[in-house]
A and B are shown apart, each in its own frame.
Chain A
Amino acid sequence: MDFSFLFQSISPLTISDLFHQFAPLTITGLALGAIYGLIALGYTMVYGVLQLINFAHSEVFMFGTFAVAWVVVFFHGTSSTSQGLFSTLGLLAICLVAAMLTSAAIALLVERVAYRPLIRKGAPKLIILIAAIGASFSLSEIMGLRDQIVGWFGLKDNLSNYVSQARNVYSSPITIDPHGLFSIGNYRVTDVDLLTIGAAIVMMAFLDQFVRRTRLGRGIRSVAQDPESAALMGVNATRVVQVTFLIGGLMAGAAATLYMIRIGTTRQNAGFIFGVKAFTAAVMGGIGNLRGALLGGLVLGVAENWGAALFGTNWKDVVAFVLLVLILLVRPTGILGESLGKARA
């Protein structure tokens, strides 16, 4: 038998396709990038304060996505329906609160259990990094084993809508149908696109002002600049670190809600890809820089879509990471390379 057809080249879109499809590729890329950016805020803040890559942040996001789906199942049941964005706004508000609280709680838990004891003992950064990776795997597997965990308490039957087939894809039963509002080029911009991009920009701006203008924000900046001097000036470093994780968790919860509105399904390893992408976005924008995190996310999302259109979807990561290397070659500190500590009030 001739199997050569298995290896025939996959014909991708061409440059003219990229030109014709420029508007849809760019706008959907921006929407995906906005979610990357919101997750990236968590990586960048923790890095700015602790010079630590919080690998467990992807799981903080993943728990948020589950919180959204659970809330929908709790109020709506499991029957699959489609609804518009506006008719579900009330439910989505509850989802947002639940996801932000869940993600923040997980972020604080990780900080308390995995990092604080090591930081207190002055452990080298590498050890803390390993603890971060361990926390990430543990949280992901706990989600994948949740059916057995509730089984220990004899609740498996009562909670079967929430935990059965724990390793399988878990879907929000309400599908949010986007509605086209206006056209840009040949693309109908939808309410979901606007919500995703708008929410990310508003939250980033809010967080940016919080860090620049408030007392707690000044504390965060001072610890990022020089933890020892900050401690001498009476800044409670532990509290600052806690607040940093809390904010990162809240942003991840918001990202999780937007993700569930756009995508609608999650699973125990859903955080992995988004974690890697968000971390990349943080580095691309300049790690430690809040505005850079969102900018990096948007650039990454658009670059991925353009790359996918030019070379085929399986090449999108290659394109995105080549772009990252090119940016770092020209600006080694990222696009807006400026650290959290140097942000001016």
Chain B
Amino acid sequence: MGTKQTIRSLAAIAAAGLALTACGTTSNSEAKATDTGTAAACVQGQKLAFLGATTGDAGALGLNMVGGIKLALDEYNKKNADCQVGLKVFDSQGDPDKAVPLATQIVGDDSIIGLVGPGFSGESLSTGKTFSAAGLPSISPSATNVTITQQGWPTWHRVIGNDSAQGAAVAKYLKTTANAKKVFVVDDGSDYGKGLAGFVRKGLGSMVGGNDTVQTGQTDFSATVTAIKGSGADAVFYGGYYPEAGLLVKQLRQAGYTGLFMSGDGSEDPAFVETAGAQAANGAVLTAPAGPAPANFNTKYKALIGNPAGLYSTQAYDATNIFLAGIQAGKTSHADLNSFIGSYNGTGVSGPISFDAKGDIKQSTIYAYKVSNGKLDTANPTPIR
């Protein structure tokens, strides 16, 4: 009996051992296979991750970012054919809850050396702890909520000015350039829209002549339009994204409202004009914490991705290039790459980039883009100083 049991357990151990060896061999051989023909400095199979919405309601914005990342990677990989960097896209659908398990997957994947993202403010706040605990450096192209960089996450960066700077600039523009006396402020209730509108309200102070909060996905704004017309405001600011911003200005103009319409970076997209219609969009002023993209960026983007570049494409392109510069400089560990990003100083297609200690972009000029002759003039914005 005793011997039989011993034999059995020995057999079990042996089997387990064999299985383990088998696993070990497979992964070794895989690693070897990818290692063949490598320059000594290059770590093969490195990847950047993107976390954000590529499907769902906000999928269009995430796809703009993925396009920018792909363009940067394509350019890098063509120059460094022997040391390619890949991309893994994690689709959160923009949902802070869905982003959490994806963040765990990302930090568990050893081939991922950095994260371009998260896309939105909500998912940035829900995943920041996971990324900072794992030490994974991240650069967001688009999350602008002020509170994110106040959490003390040393690996979190963004290449876009936060809502506080933009809100102050919007208020300044309305007061001094537009000479508005009474401003009606509308937001969409999202972390981004409400945050930005809040800073605009703060900057305007007693000039706020009315408030409303609409819903993302709403298409009929007749109650808001009625309220704006009834308030006698000579300007409207909308904190939110272009699908709603475009329809709001369209319905305002159709109801005969003639005051100034302003919105932030969430609306600074050619689709704003398409949604509003050329006539209604004319005269609208859209601010963004980014300068105009060089003309050849748009050409290159269209050639590779197929669609025209959209909102946040340039920022995603810049964020990716910072990682790639770090990789080229031989920074392969998370810590090295993170300190490389912290001390980075360069100029991207969206403007000059360097970070402060909290991870916010240091110099961020807010630009006012105008719609005239039925087109969003992306080439000649006015800096708000």
Are the C-beta atoms of A25 and B195 separated by less than 8 Å?
Answer: no
Are the C-beta atoms of B211 and A168 separated by less than 8 Å?
Answer: no
A242 on the interface (CB 8 Å rule)? no
Residue of A nearest to B150 (CB): A1
Chain B CB within 10 Å, residue with most, of A6, A156, A270, A313: A313
Q: How far is the CA of A173 from the CA of B281 in the complex (A)?
A: 13
List B contacts of A17 (CB < 8 A): 227, 230
List B contacts of A229 (CB < 8 A): none
Known: A10-B212, A167-B63. Contact between A269 and B57, CB under 8 A? yes
Are the C-beta atoms of A156 and B306 separated by less than 8 Å?
Answer: yes
Q: How far is the CA of A263 from the CA of B276 in the complex (A)?
A: 9
B55 on the interface (CB 8 Å rule)? yes
Number of A interface residues in the complex (CB < 8 A): 53
| Interface residue from B214, B218, B271 paired with A169 (Cβ < 8 Å) | B271
Nearest-CB distance from B353 to chain A (Å)? Answer: 24
B60 on the interface (CB 8 Å rule)? yes
Interface string of A174-214 (1 = CB under 8 A from B): 01011000000000100000000000000000000000000
Are the C-beta atoms of A316 and B275 separated by less than 8 Å?
Answer: no
List A contacts of B222 (CB < 8 A): 24-25, 28-29, 31-32, 305
User: Which residues, 45 to 70 on B, are CB-close (under 8 Å) to A?
Assistant: 55, 57, 59-60, 63
Are the C-beta atoms of A175 and B224 separated by less than 8 Å?
Answer: no
Are the C-beta atoms of A314 and B215 separated by less than 8 Å?
Answer: yes
Known: A305-B222, A309-B227, A313-B224. Contact between A80 and B278, CB under 8 A? yes
User: Which residues, 204 to 253 on B, are CB-close (under 8 Å) to A?
Assistant: 210-215, 217-227, 229-230, 242-243, 246-247, 250
User: Which residues, 356 to 375 on B, are CB-close (under 8 Å) to A?
Assistant: 374
Residue of B nearest to A13 (CB): B227
Are the C-beta atoms of B198 and A175 separated by less than 8 Å?
Answer: no
Interface string of A67-86 (1 = CB under 8 A from B): 00000000000001110000
Residue of A nearest to B224 (CB): A313
Are the C-beta atoms of B250 and A167 separated by less than 8 Å?
Answer: no
B194 on the interface (CB 8 Å rule)? yes
A279 on the interface (CB 8 Å rule)? no
List A contacts of B277 (CB < 8 A): 80-82, 171, 175, 264
Known: A80-B273, A165-B60, A313-B224. Contact between A264 and B250, CB under 8 A? yes
Interface string of B265-291 (1 = CB under 8 A from A): 000000101110111100000000000
Q: How far is the CA of A3 from the CA of B55 in the complex (A)?
A: 33
Are the C-beta atoms of A313 and B215 separated by less than 8 Å?
Answer: yes
Known: A82-B279, A165-B60. Contact between A273 and B242, CB under 8 A? no
Nearest-CB distance from A248 to chain B (Å)? Answer: 22
Known: A5-B202, A269-B217. Contact between A171 and B274, CB under 8 A? yes
